[in-house]
């Protein structure tokens, strides 16, 4: 898929209920929270799914991981499955800080503030 001549990134969501899913996959509402126990339950399946995704897409050059501490537990140990040709960027900090880092990664620049802040 392309947008203004650029290839759109593949986006996957890590759900406490459904595991690792493509962003376009519809899901039902749920109330499950990511806990340490749930992270341990999901880890084998999520790591297998991530390996399948990375094996099928050997042209990935970068992987941007944007998630909180509880969700990162699910990915523990995934690094052994990554390609040596792929760089990995982890967003860190607060939710807003991670969101800003994601924006910067997607667009190559920080968002501009509206004129009201000048």
Q: Where is average pLDDT lowest: 29-38, 53-62, 64-73?
A: 53-62
The Cα 15–Cα 22 span in angstroms is 10
20-38 average pLDDT score: 95
Nearest alpha carbon to residue 74 among 32, 106, 102: 32
The Cα 32–Cα 85 span in angstroms is 36
Predicted TM-score of the model (pTM): 0.80
SS3 content of the chain, % helix, strand, coil (to 5): 40, 15, 40
pLDDT of residue 2: 45
CB 67 within 8 A of CB 14: yes
**3-state secondary structure at position 19:** strand
pLDDT band at 81 (very low <50, low <70, confident <90, very high): low
pLDDT of 45 strictly over 90: yes
């Amino acid at each position: 898929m392309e947008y203004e001549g650029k290839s759109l990134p593949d986006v996957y969501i890590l759900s406490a209920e459904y595991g690792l899913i493509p962003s376009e996959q519809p899901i039902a509402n749920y109330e499950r929270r990511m806990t340490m126990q749930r992270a341990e339950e999901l880890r084998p399946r999520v790591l297998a799914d991530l390996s399948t995704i990375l094996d099928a897409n050997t042209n990935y050059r970068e992987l941007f991981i944007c998630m909180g501490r509880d969700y990162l537990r699910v990915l523990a140990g995934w690094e052994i499955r990554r390609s040596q040709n792929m760089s990995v960027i982890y967003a860190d900090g607060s939710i807003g800080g991670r969101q800003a880092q994601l924006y910067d990664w997607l667009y190559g620049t920080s968002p501009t503030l509206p004129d009201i802040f000048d």
